[in-house]
Amino acid sequence: MRDAGLQTKVVRMPGLENMRGASAQACRAVAAFAMVVACCGCGMSQKDERAQCSDLYRSALRHMEAGNIDAAILFLRRETEVNPSAVRAHLDLALLLDEQRIDDREAIVHYRAYLAGRPDTQKKEMIDGRIRHLEKRMRSEASGGAI
């Protein structure tokens, strides 16, 4: 079976090479995932394609690639406010908020917004698992315990 002209390319992410630990891993994972989706175009809805073209979303990706998590989150928040149907931005924002342990409640809101816009996604099981994990973590923290 042919690969339909798809080529694999190693992408360097400037600014991330000196980052260490979980923060770097999370940022690299989200940035790499976002770039793969942005570049492949296969199976993307028109809404996703439009969102990927927005200046706010592209700015968020640039900041993720550079390791500027706070700036990336600001641009993704703004994108989801301006364009609530930008499901890709909701997922990227949820992943950053979740992985960086910034705001569990907000991460859940954005995971659910993604699922609402993409009810048939192949990522549903993974996202449902992340939501359950965050809810468990919030319950545990509210009761003063650890997970």
Q: How does pLDDT run across 32-82, given as a tens digit for each residue?
A: 555 444 443 334 455 555 556 789 999 999 999 999 999 999 999 999 999
Q: How confident is the model at residue 139 (pLDDT cuts 50, 70, 90)?
A: very high
pTM attached to this predicted model: 0.67
User: Once rounded to an integer, what is the mean pLDDT over residues 12-38?
Assistant: 50
Instruction: Show the beta-strand stretches assigned E in the chain.
Output: none
Q: Is the pLDDT of residue 130 over 60?
A: yes
Confidence label for 105 from pLDDT (cuts 50, 70 and 90): very high
Side chain identity, residue 69:
I
The residue to which tokens 């319950």 are assigned: 139
Q: What is the pLDDT at residue 52? A: 60
Inter-residue contact 74 to 22 (CB < 8 Å): no
Tell me which long-range contacts 41-44 makes (C-beta under 8 A, separation of at least 24).
Answer: none
Query: Higher confidence at residue 86 or residue 32?
Result: 86
Using 50, 70 and 90 to split pLDDT, how confident is the model at 119?
Answer: very high
Q: Which residue has the higher pLDDT, 20 or 140?
A: 140
The pLDDT of 126-142, averaged and rounded, is: 94
Domains of the chain: 21-142 (1.25.40.10)
